[in-house]
Amino acid sequence: QVRLVESGGGLVQAGGFLRLSCAASERTFSRYAMGWFRQAPGKERELVTAINSSGGGTYYADSVKGRFTISRDNAKNTVYLQMDSLKPEDTAVYYCTQDARMYGSARSIIPEVWGQGTLVTVSS
């Protein structure tokens, strides 16, 4: 089964930026939509953004529109999350996920495989 490894989390001040990366272990990466979820303390895990297999279709939660950008490099089996203008409410563990279906849409991603998560802390 594919393994997903996130990196790039850390501590940043409000207004700052971070870039998360998620590397997949399988070459079938290019067939699947990928997404980023986050889970803040005491809250449920929520979908932040997703991208379809080709990179031509994306989805963003309203809370991150205009601030976060998802992208992928299928040659490197990697998906990225550029987070700008970070807010304290963005503080959470961010998880990378792969869709359960091949060539599914970003908007209707069904997470099947999860990474271990990376902590993002935004100080005020």
The DSSP secondary structure of the chain, one letter per residue, reads ---EEEE--EEEETT--EEEEEEESSGGGGGEEEEEEEE-TTS--EEEEEE-TTSS-EEE-GGGTTTEEEEEETTTTEEEEEE-S--GGG-EEEEEEEEEEET--STT--EEEE---EEEEEE-
- Choose among 64, 66, 68, 77: nearest CA to 34: 77
Query: CA–CA separation, 59 vs 65, rounded Å?
Result: 9
| Per-residue model confidence (pLDDT) at position 122 | 98
Beta carbons within 8 Å of 56's beta carbon, 6+ residues apart = none
- pLDDT exceeds cutoff 90 at 123: yes
Cα-flanking dihedrals φ and ψ of residue 21, to 5°? -125, 150
pLDDT tens digits along 94-118: 999 999 999 999 999 999 999 999 9
Mean pLDDT (the chain) is: 97
pLDDT tens digits along 8-58: 999 999 999 999 999 999 889 999 999 999 999 999 999 999 999 999 999
- pLDDT exceeds cutoff 90 at 93: yes
Q: Let me know: does 58 contact 70? Beta carbons within 8 Å.
A: yes
- pLDDT (mean) for 63-86: 98
| Per-residue model confidence (pLDDT) at position 98 | 97
| Per-residue model confidence (pLDDT) at position 109 | 96
pLDDT band of residue 69 (cuts 50, 70, 90) is very high
> Whats the size of the chain, residue-wise?
124
